[in-house]
Amino acid sequence: MNVPCVDKHPYGYLAHDVSTTADVKQAADEAASSPWTEGLARAGLVAKGLSFGLVAVLALRVALGGGGDVEDRPGALHEVAQSPLGRVLLGALAVGLAGYALWRLVLAVLGRKLETGERERALKRIGDAARAVLYGWLAFLCAELVLDADEPTGKGNDEKELTARILDWPLGRWLVAAAGLAVLGAGAFNLYRSLSGKFRKDLKEGQMGGEERRWYTAIGVIGHAARGAVFLLIGFFIVRAAWEYDPKEAIGLDGALAKLANAEYGPFLLGTVAAGLLAYALFCFVQARYRRV
């Protein structure tokens, strides 16, 4: 009777495991580089632009005396959900934002751009992971609002409640200060990108006409400057909350816009920043068409 020969080479199982791991990695790379993933990334950039555009339009309405309140992105999404057509828009936004979150997660895990294979630095991968979490949460919020838009949002309290909870932790004051400094850093980085034109790095400028390049450069400079200014304002108040040990000082995007609205020349300041955020939304649409993902 013939007995099948069993490979008992001491490295046989190790070789098999390495081969399996390589197969899994290759399959993951192929899935990440598929046209579907690229399509989700571009749909996500459109959804990101729409989310900023909603905030900008609502803020412009307040600045122009149209009533209502300035909103952050969750608040703006909740306002849109009040109409049947708005819920349809939110359903599409949920898919787009989920696609954006998935794209950022893939970048964080693979550590390279999908189209060019260019390697990402460790700090950039951490930022990609953070964006994946943020936009995954926004996608979940959109989906939740489609199902039930009547639940209260707790608008205006989220930042203060979270800050108060963290301040009670051991070293909580330092954690809040670190978060504020990180937001300040993000604001400074956006201003740097605005002044240096670094936002153009990942765009396929060769596919654009001269007029397109001029317009997208203008909205990129304005949009990143407005985004940077808002982040600096938010970061300042978070750091002040840690310094004064007072969670009431912490604000989010809506709080920052409200500070502008209540300042001297408030409508002008709020309108200027809102127009800048609208420019950033338009820049996201340009990215959806021309960015190397």
Report how many helices (DSSP H) and strands (DSSP E) the chain contains, helices first.
Answer: 10, 0
pTM: 0.81
- Confidence label for 154 from pLDDT (cuts 50, 70 and 90): very low
Do residues 114 and 38 touch, judged by C-beta distance below 8 A? yes
HSE-up (13 A, CA, CB side) for residue 130: 10
Residue 7 domain-assigned?
no
Strand partners, 203: 291
Residue-level pLDDT at 33: 60
Crossing angle between the packed helical segments 35-63 and 73-80, to the nearest 10 degrees: 90
Residue-level pLDDT at 192: 96
Residue-level pLDDT at 52: 92
Residue-level pLDDT at 228: 95
Residue-level pLDDT at 287: 93
Least confident of 21-25, 79-83, 172-176, 229-233: 21-25
Number of domains in the chain: 1
For residues 163 and 176, what is the distance between their CA atoms, to the nearest angstrom? 7
CA 51 to chain centre: 10
Residue 254 domain-assigned?
yes
Residue 257 domain-assigned?
yes
**Could you tell me which of 145, 144, 110 has the C-alpha nearest to residue 129?**
110
User: How many beta carbons lie within 10 A of that of residue 287, not counting itself?
Assistant: 23
Token pair of 243 as six digits: 């310094």
Residue-level pLDDT at 156: 47
Residue-level pLDDT at 220: 95
Asked if pLDDT for residue 278 goes beyond 80, the answer is yes
Q: What is the mean pLDDT of residues 13-33?
A: 55
For residues 127 and 73, what is the distance between their CA atoms, to the nearest angstrom? 19
3-state secondary structure (DSSP) of residue 203: strand
Asked if pLDDT for residue 41 goes beyond 50, the answer is yes
User: How many beta carbons lie within 10 A of that of residue 33, not counting itself?
Assistant: 16
3-state secondary structure (DSSP) of residue 212: helix
Asked if pLDDT for residue 185 goes beyond 70, the answer is yes
Residue-level pLDDT at 166: 84
- Confidence label for 23 from pLDDT (cuts 50, 70 and 90): low
Residue 28 domain-assigned?
no
Residue 17 domain-assigned?
no
The domain in which residue 254 lies consists of 34-290
Q: What is the mean pLDDT of residues 102-116?
A: 84
Do residues 217 and 200 touch, judged by C-beta distance below 8 A? yes
Residue 18 domain-assigned?
no
Do residues 43 and 98 touch, judged by C-beta distance below 8 A? no
Q: pLDDT by residue (tens digit) across 77-104? A: 888 888 888 888 888 999 999 999 998 9
Residue 24 domain-assigned?
no
The better pLDDT of the pair 178, 113 is held by 178
Q: pLDDT by residue (tens digit) across 216-255? A: 999 999 999 999 999 999 999 999 998 988 888 888 888 8
Residue 252 domain-assigned?
yes
